[in-house]
Structure 1
Amino acid sequence: MQKIQRNPWQKYGPWIIATLVVLLFIWAFSGIPLSTVKPQAMQVTKSIIHGLFHPDWSYVYSGDGEDLISALIETLAIAFLGTFISAVLTLPFAFLAARTKKGFFTPRSTIGKLILTIIRVFPEIVLAIMFIKAVGPGAYAGVLAVSIHSIGMLGKLFSEAIENIDRGPNEAIVAAGGSALDGLTLATIPAVMPEFMNYTLYRFEIAVRSAAILGIVGAGGIGAPLIFALQTRQWSKVGIILLGIIVMVTVIDFLSGQLRKRLV
């Protein structure tokens, strides 16, 4: 059997790349100013870890609407309403941005994609701050921030799903005498609806995480009591809040994953 000859790059290329990566990490970490680390950093870290392992279980439910369960429900409500509103409002933007005709430049699709790109530029935390100034602090500002940002994300995904469907059934309906509206309602929408639902559920998973953070700036949800507990160094309360977020996100991810498996 003839032995396969390897060139020098095939022999030493992986080792060279690995060495460069290691040197890059060494160079990156060497630039970290360790002198800026506060002397009490280790003590604070120990307090946080102690709070995580000794959570304040009395904060789970108190019945006054200021407990962990109430904050988690509000967070889920913000994520659900924001995702639901965006899924509805996204449809016209998605069909506007979808490129259904061949060509390098299509004005309708280009304008739609530009609108969705502009919407995606603003992070949810920035939108939340803007809406807090407009409508005041609370869950309403959080819902608006999640819904507007989700329009940009879902619009991109929805438009790509429309572009990738088989145009044959639509063209067949039109060729048989049907209108463009018939092709849309009888062929296009049924073909893309499973993917729309899949993307919406996936976006809902992300919205739950985002809604848990928006409260830090006053947009409702579990973020508000979390930042208050951190500022007042109530580490046991921080521990139970983080534990609640972990459980909530894990359950949502599992349920959403099961639903998406049935849709795909």
Structure 2
Amino acid sequence: MMMQQKTLWQKSQPWLVTFVVAAIFIWGFTGVPLTGIKSTAGQVFGSIIDGLVHPDWSYLYSGDGEDLVSALLQTLAIAFLGTFMSAVLAVPFGFWAAKTNRKFFSPKSASGKFVLTVVRVFPELVLAIMFIKAVGPGAFAGVLALGFHSVGMMGKLFSEAVENIDRGPNEAIAAAGGSTLDGLTMATFPAVLPEFMNYTLYRFEIAVRSASILGIVGAGGVGAPLIFALSTRAWPRVGMILIGIVVTVTAIDFLSGQIRKRLV
């Protein structure tokens, strides 16, 4: 059997893709002003490493609410409440943005996707600054910032889960005389619930990381003591905080991964 000879376009495609990628990289580097590395960078990096090797263990727990354990618990609380709030609000947004028919254009779905895109535009730090102006500094502003931003992300994921389910059970319920509500409660929700929980747990992992830095702008969590320790060059305390963040995030990732394996 004779091999089909490649056309000129097929032969040049890999080279064209390589050229475009290289051009984008070159354009990206030329657009970023490279000011060089400061002379104190090595000293600061060495101090951070020394702080990780010799952390301030007295800051781990003191019982006065101003220790690392208290800050990490507040970070977890911000991430949990923000994720829970967004998971509840993202359900109606997900159904709004989901395209459940075969039409080329659906106004309902298009408007829902547009709203979710607008919500996702604002980063957590920007939202935290905005909510700090509205409700004052503290953990509540962090919860609102994470919750608002997560609605956009989880709403998009929820809508994709609704779009990808098998429509057979819904059609069978409709053929048997069932209502739209029957199809929603007996077919759609049982099919998408594991995916919803999976995405919620995955978003919680991301929220823990995000909540760790919201304190930099005054939105509660472990970010506030971290930026204070960095500004005062308390490197042993910086090392202790970084170790606490790494351990917490690693434990959350492991537990969430184990739960998600059982859901999917």
Whether TM exceeds 0.5 here: the answer is yes
Structure 2: tracts of 5 or more residues without a match? none
Cα distance between partner residues in 2 of 1:105 and 1:16 = 33
Matched with 1:215 is 215
How far off is 1:29 after superposition?
7.1
Say which SS state the counterpart of residue 221 (structure 1) adopts: coil
Q: Cα distance, 1:13 vs. partner?
A: 9.8
- What's the TM-score, normalizing by structure 1? 0.89
Partner of 2:43: 43
Q: Do the aligned partners of residues 91 and 26 (structure 1) sit closer, same or farther apart at CA in structure 2, a change above 3 Å counting?
A: closer
1:113 corresponds in structure 2 to 113
1:251 and 2:257 matched: no
Aligned AA (1:81): L
Partner of 1:155: 155
- Between the aligned partners of 1:107 and 1:19, the Cα distance in structure 2 is 39
Q: What is the rounded CA distance, in whole Å, between the counterparts of 2:242 and 2:255 in structure 1?
A: 20
| Counterparts of residues 1-264 of structure 1 (less than 5 Å) | 36-264=36-264
TM-score by length of 2: 0.89
C-alpha deviation, 1:6, in angstroms: 10
Q: Match of 2:152, as an amino acid? A: G
**C-alpha deviation, 1:40, in angstroms:** 2.0
User: How many residue pairs get matched?
Assistant: 261
The Cα of 1:53 is off from its aligned counterpart by 1.0
Question: Bigger shift: 45-54 or 201-210?
Answer: 45-54
Q: 1:44 to 1:157 in 2, by over 3 A?
A: same
Report the more deviating stretch, 18-27 or 185-194. 18-27
- After TM superposition, the structure 1 stretch with the greater mean CA deviation from structure 2, 218-227 or 46-55, is 46-55
Structure 1 residue 7: deviation in Å?
Answer: 11
1:41: how far off? 2.0
Separation in 1 of the partners of 2:74 and 2:123?
21
